[in-house]
């Protein structure tokens, strides 16, 4: 696998080595050994999958400590624009984002570390989205930032005024009105100290 660094430290794009032949293709979608060698120590404990139609936007989500999560995400059918926003107070990249197109054709994966809000917009007719999490879902720790916050400067590649959002996602605050539970100077991976 090839790891592509982004403009925010720790947020990376992963391109697997794909083997194509007359039968189709094969690739290793995850290797703990390779991931820990090239990205960071991790212990994924939950896999999730969602199916959405064009215009659906999900996010920007995170879980508050001590239930914070890292995510390794990919789109196995269709195409999405996937985004990670740095919400660690004191970070030199606070409020900045990385956006990457993930699709069934490019097989890319995107690693979103703890301390980031995550969301995506569906660009294809439908999309099946999968992600690995390194902490279990805890509804009491749910948090989010408005996916329509124009101050973030995200080009979602779809008209956000007609986006399909959940009732929960409509209510999220903009970044300027948000008090982040994450501190850049605090280790968010204490289990690996």
DSSP E strand boundaries for 27-125: 46-53, 57-63, 71-77, 79-86, 88-89, 97-103, 109-112, 116-122
Q: How far apart are CA 130 and CA 11, in angstroms?
A: 17
- Among 68, 64, 74, which Cα is nearest to 30's? 74
Phi and psi angles of residue 182, each rounded to the nearest 5 degrees, phi first: -110, 140
Marked catalytic residue, from 107, 118, 131, 172: 131
- Among 130, 84, 72, which Cα is nearest to 104's? 130
The residues, any chain, with a CB within 8 Å of residue 186's CB and separated by 6 or more, are none
Q: Is 54 an active-site residue?
A: no
Q: Is 61 an active-site residue?
A: yes
Tell me how far the alpha carbon of residue 14 is from its chain's centroid.
12
Marked catalytic residue, from 61, 97, 107, 172: 61
Active site residues: 61, 131
């Amino acid at each position: 696998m090839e790891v592509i660094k982004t403009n925010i430290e720790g947020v990376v794009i992963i391109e697997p080595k794909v083997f194509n032949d007359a039968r189709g293709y094969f690739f290793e979608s995850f290797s703990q050994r390779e991931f820990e060698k090239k990205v960071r120590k991790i212990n994924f404990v939950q896999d999730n999958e969602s199916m959405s139609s064009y215009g659906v936007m999900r996010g920007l989500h995170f879980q508050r400590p001590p239930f914070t999560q890292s995510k390794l995400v990919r789109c196995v059918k269709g195409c999405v624009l996937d985004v990670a926003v740095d919400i660690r107070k004191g970070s030199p990249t606070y409020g900045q984002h990385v956006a990457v197109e993930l699709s069934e054709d490019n097989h890319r994966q995107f690693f979103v570390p703890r301390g980031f809000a995550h969301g995506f917009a569906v660009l294809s007719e439908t999309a099946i989205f999968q992600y690995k999490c390194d902490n279990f879902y805890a509804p009491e720790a749910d948090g989010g930032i408005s996916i329509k916050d124009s101050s973030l400067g995200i080009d979602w590649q779809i008209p956000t005024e007609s986006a399909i959002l959940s009732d929960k996602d409509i209510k999220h605050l903009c970044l300027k009105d948000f008090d982040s539970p994450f501190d850049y100077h605090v280790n968010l991976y204490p289990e690996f100290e």
